[in-house]
Amino acid sequence: MSRLSGKVAIVTGGARGMGEATVRGLVRDGARVLIADVLDEPGAALAQTLGDSAEFIHMDVTQKSAWDNAVAAARDMGNLQVLVNNAAIVMQKTIMETTEEDFMNIVRINQLGVFLGMQAVFETLKENGGGSIINVSSIDGLQSKNSLTAYSATKWAVRGMTKAAALEMGKYRIRVNSVHPGGIFTAMHGNEFMTQEQADNFYTHHALPRVGLPEEVAAVTVFLAGDEASYSTGSEFIADGGWHAGLVEDALPQL
Ligand SMILES: NC(=O)c1ccc[n+]([C@@H]2O[C@H](COP(=O)([O-])OP(=O)(O)OC[C@H]3O[C@@H](n4cnc5c(N)ncnc54)[C@H](O)[C@@H]3O)[C@@H](O)[C@H]2O)c1
C-alpha cells in the first residue's frame, strides 16, 4: 500500500510550478488530488494526464464560496485529509512604489487565501479523524529583500498563522506546518525568460550554488502530508539550498 493511499488532498495553485510538482508527488505516493487554480487550461490538462487520481476545479483562493465548492468537490473524491496552501503571487516594488491597492491585492491572495483555506477544511479534517495542512511560505517569511515589503509581509503572516492554527487544531490530530522554499526555477522565478544555467548564477554564494527545482520542495511537502510526519506541527521546513544559513564570503578562507 502506498504511503498516501486513501487520502484526498487539495493543492491550490496546483496547475504549474511547485504546485504541479506537489500534485505529481502526492499522486505518485497514492493520494487523490484536487487541483485548484485560476489557470484553467494547464490545470485541466494536468488532471487529465493523471487520470482517476486527480481532478481540476477553477478556484480563486480569495473567495470563500470557492473554498466551499472546493471542499465539497474534494469530499466527493474521498477522505479529505490534506490541504496544501500553495497559491500565491509575487510583486517586486519598493515600499514607496507600492500602492495601498497593490498591498491589499497581495494580502488577499497570499494571506487571506491561506486563512480561508484553513477555515474551510477544518470541520472536514476533524470529521475525518485528522489531517495535515501545509502552508507554503518562503525564505522571505524568515528574512526578506529590498522590493519585497508586501510579499514578505504575507509570507511572514503565513508562518505566524501556521503556528496559531497548529496550536488550535492539534487536539483534533490536525497538523499545520509551513514550507519555506528558496529560489526555485518556476514561472514566479522568471523561467520563461532565462535558462536554468542563467538562474544558477543568482546563487553563486549559496551553500548549494544553484537554483532549486520544484520537485525538491514538493518532496518536503509530500513528506509532511503523510503519517511519517505525525509528530511535526507548527514548524518551519526549509528547502532553500542553505540560503537561510548565510552566504559564502569570498574574502574568508574556504575549503
Ligand atoms: N519560485 C520561487 O522562487 C519561490 C520561492 C519561495 C516561495 N515560493 C512560493 O511557492 C509557491 C508556489 O510558487 P511557484 O514558484 O510555483 O509560482 P507559480 O507562479 O509558478 O505558481 C503559482 C500558482 O498559483 C496560482 N494562483 C495565483 N493566484 C491565485 C488565486 N487567486 N487563486 C488560485 N490560484 C492562484 C497561479 O495561477 C499559479 O498556478 C508560492 O506560494 C510562492 O510564493 C516560490
The yes-or-no answer on residue 151 being catalytic is: yes
Do the domain assignments include residue 57?
yes
Domain membership of residue 202 (yes or no) is yes
Q: Is residue 185 part of a domain?
A: yes
Q: What is the CATH number of the domain that holds 46?
A: 3.40.50.720
Task: Answer whether residue 250 is part of any domain.
Answer: no
**238: DSSP letter:** E
Q: Which domain holds residue 184?
A: 8-87+119-136+170-238
Determine, yes or no, domain membership for 17: yes
Q: How confident is the model at residue 68 (pLDDT cuts 50, 70, 90)?
A: very high
* pTM > 0.95: yes
Ligand 1 atom, smallest distance to 17 CA: 16
Residues with CB under 6 A from ligand 1: 12-13, 15-19, 37-39, 59-62, 86-89, 109, 136, 138-139, 181, 183-184, 186-189
For a mutational test of ligand 1's pocket, the pick from 186, 196, 200, 238, i.e. the residue with the most ligand atoms closer than 8 A to its C-beta, is 186
Residue 110 maps to a domain? no
Quick: pLDDT tens for 118-174: 999 999 999 999 999 999 999 999 999 999 999 999 999 999 999 999 999 999 999
Total domains, the chain: 1
pLDDT tens digit string along 162-203? 999 999 999 999 999 999 999 999 999 999 999 999 999 999
Query: pLDDT-based confidence at 34, cuts 50/70/90?
Result: very high
Q: Which of 61, 134, 188 to mutate to test the pocket of ligand 1 (most atoms within 8 A of CB)?
A: 188
Environment class of 210 (CB within 10 Å of its CB; exposed 0-12, middle 13-18, buried 19+): middle
Instruction: Find the largest Cα–Cα distance for the chain.
Output: 59
Helix, strand or coil for residue 207?
Answer: coil
Cell, residue 189: 522565478
* Beta-bridge partner residues of 179: 136, 237
Residue 99 lies in a domain: no
Report how far apart the first and last C-alpha atoms of the chain are (Å, whole number).
Answer: 45
Is residue 131 included in any domain, yes or no?
yes
| Residue 1, pLDDT score | 73
Ligand 1 center from residue 89 Cα (angstroms): 6
* CA 63 / ligand 1 centre spacing (Å): 17
